[in-house]
């Protein structure tokens, strides 16, 4: 199978976007209805994973935006002296269609998001990547090095963070 990751273009139609099903109802409904207008308004950028063998079908995606967190949220990471407000990138949404899960594609698209975070940090500054993890996805993010900021809050989303210094060491 051959997959591509590209910048989501809201002016383009994607085969399979309206049928996207990652098993999470709110993420599905975001892809079906809100993804296009969000990106059109520049509220976030999105990258889409497409299956070249299936008419470039919409197989997965993530959205990213700029964010600011209070330094107190990072106390679990023991990062030393920092200013009170910390600029970072934020992963807002992530999903892989059920038909494509379990093939390292979630991990692949996340590495793309981490590289983008690194590029943003070099160009405009940013201390790392923040996200609010769905209870079922906490272990997935931990495998990539993300640290829980306030303990596991499941069934509520759990805030997690990966500092830029840790991203640099990823391969």
Ligand X SMILES: CC(C)(COP(=O)(O)OP(=O)(O)OC[C@H]1O[C@@H](n2cnc3c(N)ncnc32)[C@H](O)[C@@H]1OP(=O)(O)O)[C@@H](O)C(=O)NCCC(=O)NCCS
| Residues within the interface to ligand X (CB under 6 A) | 22-24, 27, 94-96, 101-107, 133-134, 136-137, 139-140, 143
CB 166 within 8 A of CB 144: no
Count of positions (residues) in the chain: 171
- Whichever of 33 and 125 has its CB closer to ligand X, that residue is 33
- Whichever of 6 and 104 has its CB closer to ligand X, that residue is 104
- State the minimum distance, in angstroms, from the CB of residue 146 to ligand X: 10
- Whichever of 82 and 135 has its CB closer to ligand X, that residue is 135
Chain residue whose CB lies nearest ligand X: 106
- State the minimum distance, in angstroms, from the CB of residue 58 to ligand X: 13
- State the minimum distance, in angstroms, from the CB of residue 95 to ligand X: 4
- Whichever of 85 and 96 has its CB closer to ligand X, that residue is 96
């Amino acid at each position: 199978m051959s997959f591509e990751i590209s910048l989501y273009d809201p002016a383009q139609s994607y085969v399979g976007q309206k049928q996207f099903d990652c098993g999470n109802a709110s993420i599905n409904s975001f892809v079906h209805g809100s993804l296009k207008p969000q990106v059109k308004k520049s509220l976030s950028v999105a990258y889409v994973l497409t299956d070249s063998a299936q008419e470039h079908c919409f197989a997965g995606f993530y959205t990213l935006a700029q964010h600011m967190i209070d330094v107190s949220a990072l106390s679990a990471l023991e990062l030393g002296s920092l200013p009170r407000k910390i600029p970072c990138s934020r992963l807002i949404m992530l999903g892989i269609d059920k038909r494509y899960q379990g093939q390292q594609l979630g991990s692949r698209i996340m590495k793309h998001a981490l590289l983008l975070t690194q590029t943003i940090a070099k160009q405009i500054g940013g201390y790392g990547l923040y996200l609010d993890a769905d209870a079922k996805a906490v272990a997935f993010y931990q495998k990539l090095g993300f640290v829980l900021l306030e303990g596991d809050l499941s069934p509520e989303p759990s805030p997690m963070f990966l500092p830029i210094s840790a991203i640099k060491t990823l391969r």
